[in-house]
Structure 1
Amino acid sequence: MRNAEDRLKFIKPQEPLLVLEPPLSDDWLHEIKYDGFRTQLIRDWAGVRALTRTGIDWSKRYWPIVDAAEKLPAKSFIIDGEMIAPDPDGRPNFHQMHSRMAWNAELLAFVAFDIMYLDGQDLRALPAIERKAKLWNLVKPADGIIQYSQHVEGNGAEFFAAVDKMGLEGIVSKRRNSPYRAGKSDSWVKVKCWDVADFELIGVKRERGKQTQGLMARDGKYVGTAVIATNRSIKERLLQRLERNRAEQPAGVPTAVTGSNVEWVGPGMTARVRYLRGESKLRHASVQDLREIGDSLA
């Protein structure tokens, strides 16, 4: 009689480092970065289970994918991938994830991008390109709710430009001969695309020796900070308007960004911000322009 001790164990996922440019060498594979929930599918003698990036069992939430994984032609495996909520055109829609997990799990899909264990063999020491070949042989034709993360070899800049044009979040690049290592490693890197949008400027943070930061909100909700990287004349005019347009601290701003060096701005001032796509808060963000209703500081 087998027991729980005999079951395959969760493997801490490998995590890509964030970089600003894709690798140019032909030694790299490039894949689309899918916007969803990192998931590990594990099959052993007791069946298939689906675990989150921290090892929590979400098999009941992902039951259609678990059922599909039971039909894969292997007795045991550990597959790394991303659970997504695809739109009709196949693009991942992160905002639909929670709704589908609760009500329409059959509309989820699992994108497999690595395999660490297969039928008694630990594959982590194999080169990434060989692991992907074994993964494809397991999941092909991958035209159902279990999909396969296609890749290109080399031409990272061209691949990134195509992904950006499609409006996707970014890419993940992996050294083709690298083993699978848990945790962050420079053999996997991610490059995110940029977006530009208008946000409400609710405050300005000035500290000696540091860049001026704008505190941003969307629909009244704080979303992060952006460097005010506009020209000097715009900054000066902004500060003049701050003198005329001071306000009380709005609700919902984390205490970590408040303090005596923050000046709060009254309603009506917007900022055009460049920021990394696919983040819950502004990241690597910079202000391109500042406006008041009916006016522009440019």
Structure 2
Amino acid sequence: MTKPPRRPRSKPLLRDEPAPLQSRPIRKRNKAQPALSLDPMPRRVEPALAKLLQRPPSGDHWSWEIKWDGYRIAIHAEPGGIRILTRGGYDWTDRFPGIEAAARALGPASMIIDGEGVVLDEQGRSDFNALQKALGAVGRRSGNLTAGNAICMAFDLLYLDGHDLREEPYRTRRHLLEETLRGFEGAIRLSEEIDADPAVLLDHACTLGLEGIVGKNRYSRYRSGRSGDWVKLKCVQSGSFLIVGYEPSVQAWGGFRALLLGAYKGRDLVYVGSVGTGFKEREAIRLRTMMNKLPWRRKAPPVVYEGTRRAVWVQPTLIAEIDLRQWTPDMMLRHASYKGLRERQDNADVFRLETGEEP
């Protein structure tokens, strides 16, 4: 015997009834039921810094990538908009319009991306001088404060959609960053991990004219400061030094033969030598113009100075990025070359003799 057709439990959606369709009433959430916890987005995160080493650490728990030469930035994609913060905590969103647009294009997700703002040359290498030229590194004096061609080489993800990731191991954060940027085309790019012996990788990096390499402990959480979880190996030593004066010259570009430099030793600013190479004509003239506008200290230098050079002393305000091959036994720069100016806002980056690197 054939069974009669089963009567539907709910009425069909299309029906000839005058009454409007109504859904079931929404039940109030049971307060005893646990809710998914969301972490507030940090207003700012003090960046993790790489410790300078002379040789790679042992072990297979390190991941390696290229060291980029630019400005450390953190991209905060928030419901209220995009903020791009420098290492010192300054808001430079308006200086990186391309990176800001890329952060908006990533989608509605809230996130904090840790990376380096750079300008690449034709060979794909980060060019600090080109970045400085694009930014107008002397501040508002240059009238050019944006780097429209700058990109962010992203290497860490600290926050994503309501979840603070700083307690997660680096390999987890890295995986989430790769997924976030997968297939994305814009001014935020992934700083690629390179599976190679670090000694061989450093050798290749130096041959290609790169600044060096960075290693990160795959199992480490994100710790602000120089904890040793991140390390760096450089092809050429470099650092940021305060300009304390210059040696005048009527023959050299810009009217000076060399810049006189200072670094910190404890709380004191001390003289560490001079730099007289690496200047192009336009940059030398620009530097002299800037120094002419600084407050002068004609009689007493801002550092203890026992040399015999004819020097013009200036208020230590401008910060020069310097390449150097080595130090003399009495801690003076040897074979130094000028790279460009750092923003005066980044005074925290001035070289410290106690640690052998920037703080």
1:222 equivalent in alignment to 2:256: no
What does 1:118-137 correspond to in 2, within 5 Å? 118-137=160-179
TM-score of the superposed pair, with normalisation by structure 1: 0.67
Shift of 1:190: 1.1
Unaligned runs of 5+ in 2: 1-39, 136-143, 238-255, 262-271, 275-297, 311-319, 336-359
On the 8 A contact 1:7/1:45 being kept in 2, the answer is: no
Q: 2:322 aligns with which of 280, 287, 295?
A: 280
Shift of 1:21: 1.2
Q: 1:16 to 1:109 in 2, by over 3 A?
A: same
Q: Secondary structure at the match of 1:180?
A: coil
Q: 2:219 aligns with which of 174, 177, 186?
A: 177
Shift of 1:19: 1.2
Q: 1:34 to 1:129 in 2, by over 3 A?
A: same
On the 8 A contact 2:41/2:164 being kept in 1, the answer is: no
Q: 1:35 aligns with which of 61, 69, 75?
A: 69
Q: 2:190 aligns with which of 128, 131, 148?
A: 148
Of all paired residues, the percent bearing the same amino acid is: 34
Deviations 1:110-131 (A, max 9, x none): 1100010000111111111221
Higher strand share: 1
Distance (Å, rounded) in 1 between the aligned partners of 2:108 and 2:222: 21
Q: Secondary structure at the match of 1:105?
A: coil
Q: 1:121 to 1:81 in 2, by over 3 A?
A: same
Distance (Å, rounded) in 2 between the aligned partners of 1:134 and 1:52: 23
Distance (Å, rounded) in 1 between the aligned partners of 2:116 and 2:80: 23
- What is the aligned partner in structure 1 of residue 53 from structure 2? 19
Cα RMSD for the two superposed structures: 3.0
On the 8 A contact 1:8/1:43 being kept in 2, the answer is: no
Q: 1:79 aligns with which of 113, 117, 134?
A: 113
Q: Secondary structure at the match of 1:183?
A: coil
What does 1:60-99 correspond to in 2, within 5 Å? 60-99=94-133
Deviations 1:51-105 (A, max 9, x none): 1112111111112211111111452001100000111221111112233233663
On the 8 A contact 1:33/1:172 being kept in 2, the answer is: yes
Deviations 1:185-241 (A, max 9, x none): 11111111138xxxxxxxxxxxxxxxxxxxxxx942236449xxxxxxxxxxxxxxx
Unaligned runs of 5+ in 1: 1-5, 196-217, 227-250, 267-277, 290-298
Distance (Å, rounded) in 1 between the aligned partners of 2:209 and 2:60: 25
1:192 equivalent in alignment to 2:226: no
Distance (Å, rounded) in 2 between the aligned partners of 1:280 and 1:176: 31
